[in-house]
Amino acid sequence: YCMNSWCFDFENGNPNLCYRYAPNTIKISNSLFANNFNRLAGINFDKTVGLSVSRVPNKALSLPKSNTCICVRDRPTGSFVLSRTLRCVAGMLLMGFMLRNIPVIKEGVYIDFKWSASLRNIALAVILARAGLGLDPTALRKLKSVCLRVASGPCILEACTTAVISHFLMDLPWVWGFILGFVLSAVSPAVVVPSMLLLQKDGYGVEQGIPTLLMAAGSFDDVLAITGFTTCLGMAFATGSTWFNLLRGVLEVAGGTVLGLVLGFLIQYFPSVDQKHLVIKRSFLVLGLSVFAVFGSGVAGFPGSGGLCTLVLAFLAGLGWGSEKAHVEEVVGWAWDIFQPLLFGLIGAEIRVLELDGLTVGLGIATLLIALLVRILFTFVCVLCAGFNMREKVFISLAWMPKATVQAAIGSTALDMARTKGDVQLQKYSMDVLTVAVLAILITAPIGALLIGLAGPLLLQKPKNSACGEQLKLNLSAFLS
């Protein structure tokens, strides 16, 4: 393994990437993949953190004329499950927070909200594609009923609990209470999926289907939360009839599923197996169609369907590829290494300390903790008759806590709409929603990753079959074949 040291060197307003070797460091570079993305987007990441902005418009990122250096280091601590996920999430949130709130840095950095939202949506598409490829069809068939219960029950109950508490504690109107509730009720695939993939790689809970259950249920949980959020948001801003807003949720689920089935079936057979560089072509198709689904659903006015479409198409494609999908999963994992720092760094940059109200923060934390407790307890109830032992039930309940991705993606949507409308009161309500969403990210993302990493090896069983969960050893020739 290695220790990477990255520097952002801003000189005379021009961003330059400086990569330095730390002592006893061995550079590991996926040059082919990184260079292709660098040509396409002007963004070049290696294993942990690194950024070279060469084709981003000047208005998107304004940099100081004086020399500034921000250094982020990553020192892996071994094979313990929590190390990488927890370290990355906390470190990236911290760096984004520093960019926004430290005076010396804040004065020289400007982040355009459109670029920020777009990059977060790309990261969401990548992690959902990775989750779809990682689903185990056998375990999914076995756990389909409990998957539905875990996906819908805790989400709806937490949203209702948050709405009631925020109405009486924070004086939010009922519709805004439900907006906040559905923002908070979504579990974070950016935290849960990487953690589950690490546990799955080591064999923890694989025979019981726990990683597949949580990854699949998490994606449907997000779709339900986004659907509820968009429905309530339409009511709050009076866009469209109430019946249409209620019907739109059903249309989003149906439309996302159908489109995902069509696209997934298509890329099962295209490109054909006799073509060269098959893995690279399949990987770019999965990633490209996933990004298209997320952005296209937003343009079409059905933002909740994009995530479900991505999950379905990736799952169906992987089902058709069989064992060969492991190589595609590895490439999609490289893409996640690129966009993960962007996602959490931009989430951290949404936090503006000077704009936070002390009373709102206190009441928001109280609302969040009460709703979170209700969610954990009800998740435990949902898996009582699912055939898991007590330790596995406790783990599933704790793993259902982290919040980050969806909160970052939709937390500021209401504020953007309120600013466009110019209503001061609506801006206050939407700022309260954003504040609590950011608090949820700060509190639950690191703690949730920590709990999953600690509890996984302690509470889950390793497979009796030693071959199960064994990590595939992939070489470069496999990806270029």
Q: How many CB atoms lie within 10 A of CB 273?
A: 8
Q: What is the mean pLDDT of residues 152-172?
A: 93
| Cα pseudo-dihedral 340, 345, 351, 353, rounded to 10 | 150
Q: What is the mean pLDDT of residues 59-74?
A: 35
User: Is-contact 229 184, C-beta < 8 A?
Assistant: no
pLDDT digits (tens, 9 = 90+) for 214-261: 887 887 787 788 778 877 877 787 656 667 767 776 777 788 889 999
pLDDT tier, 29 (very low <50, low <70, confident <90, very high otherwise) = very low
pLDDT of residue 81 exceeding 70? no
pLDDT of residue 465: 59
Which residue has tokens 């579990």? 187
pLDDT of residue 314 exceeding 80? yes
Q: What is the mean pLDDT of residues 354-377?
A: 89
Strand order of the β-sheet with 4-11 is: 14-21, 4-11, 68-74
Close Cβ partners of 170 (under 8 Å, ≥ 6 residues apart)? 360, 363, 364, 367, 432
- The tally of CA atoms less than 13 A away on the side-chain side of residue 189 is 33
Whole-angstrom Cα distance, residue 314 to residue 267?
Answer: 9
Average pLDDT, the chain: 74
Whole-angstrom Cα distance, residue 201 to residue 117?
Answer: 32
Q: State the sign of the Cα–Cα–Cα–Cα dihedral 416, 417, 422, 423.
A: negative
Structure tokens at 359: 């009373």
pLDDT digits (tens, 9 = 90+) for 371-430: 999 999 999 999 888 788 899 999 999 998 888 777 876 777 788 778 777 888 888 898
Length of the chain as a residue count: 481
Which domains can be identified in the chain, with CATH numbers?
A: 4-111 (no CATH), 113-480 (1.20.1530.20)
The secondary structure of residue 270, as a DSSP letter, is: S
Close Cβ partners of 240 (under 8 Å, ≥ 6 residues apart)? 234, 248
Structure tokens at 312: 């379905």
Per-residue burial over 8-24, b if 16 or more Cβ lie within 10 Å, else e, is bebeeeebebeeeeeee
| Cα pseudo-dihedral 97, 100, 101, 104, rounded to 10 | 120
Whole-angstrom Cα distance, residue 213 to residue 140?
Answer: 7
pLDDT of residue 280 exceeding 50? yes
Largest CA-CA distance found in the chain, in angstroms, rounded: 63
Q: What is the mean pLDDT of residues 106-113?
A: 75
Q: What is the mean pLDDT of residues 131-147?
A: 77
Share of the chain above pLDDT 70, in %: 75
- Hey, which bits of 112-234 come out as E strands? none
pLDDT of residue 251: 79
Strand 14-21 and strand 68-74: the pairing is: unpaired
